[in-house]
Amino acid sequence: MSILHNPYKGDYDHVPEVDGKGRFRDRFFYKGDLYVLPYDETEKKKTYLPCLLFGAGMFASLIVQGLVNQTSSRTLWVVLPYFFQFLPVFFFLIGIVEYAGATPRMTREQYDKGIGRIHFNGIGVIVTAAISIICEVVYLIIRRGQYDIGREMIYLLLHLPVILVAILFARYYNKTFSGISVESMK
């Protein structure tokens, strides 16, 4: 796969036509799949706030988790997974913005950058939190007796709200976006 790979290149086509001044112009049109939401624009707008609240909940949980000043936060292989947890949360929020700009009949690109991004980054939040938990547990085993167990356990347990919010979003996602139908334009 090259860096110039465009997954949407087959979704568009063009037809040459003559404009009012006699010049040839290409008229581009979409011929790929359309993803149709099971509701109209007004009901679609009602889904923005819950998605945004789930994203804000994940972000706030990560911030609270980072406020704990535990000994393991001075270890690179424990603190890096914590910071990597922010990436899927940021992309989750970007996906919400993309979804807000789309119509109920979305092109494949709009679907991938909106709803698809929200879905896969919700899963990514759970995976990165699980990796962070594993790194923390390994730290606790390796450095047994060299840390304040209270702070370390608080930090470890604060991974659970991040995962819980992501799981609650997954349930909301399944209920809200399960009725998306695909119309083939080819």
Tell me the torsion sign for CA atoms 30, 31, 37, 38.
positive
Reported as a single tens digit per residue, the pLDDT across 78-104 is 899 999 999 999 999 999 999 999 999
The answer on pLDDT for 39 being more than 70 is yes
Question: Could you tell me if residue 20 is inside a domain?
Answer: no
| Domain-located, residue 17 | no
Q: How does the average pLDDT of the chain come out, rounded?
A: 89
Determine the 3-state secondary structure of 34 from DSSP.
strand
- Residue 27 covered by a domain: no
Residue range(s) defining the domain that contains residue 178: 34-183
Q: What is the pLDDT of residue 3?
A: 56
In a domain, 98, yes or no: yes
* pLDDT score, position 186: 62
- Is residue 107 in some structural domain? yes
Nearest to 106 by CA among 12, 7, 32, 174: 32
CA distances from 94 to 27, 52, 66, 98, 125 (A): 30, 10, 22, 6, 14
> Is 8 within a domain?
no
Count the domains in the chain: 1
Tell me, what CATH number does 135's domain have?
Answer: 1.20.120
The whole-number pLDDT of residue 2 equals 55
Residue 120 pLDDT > 70, yes or no? yes
In a domain, 7, yes or no: no
Is residue 12 within a helix (H) or strand (E), and if so which, with residue range?
A: strand 12-18
Residue 95 in any domain: the answer is yes
What pLDDT is attached to residue 14?
A: 77
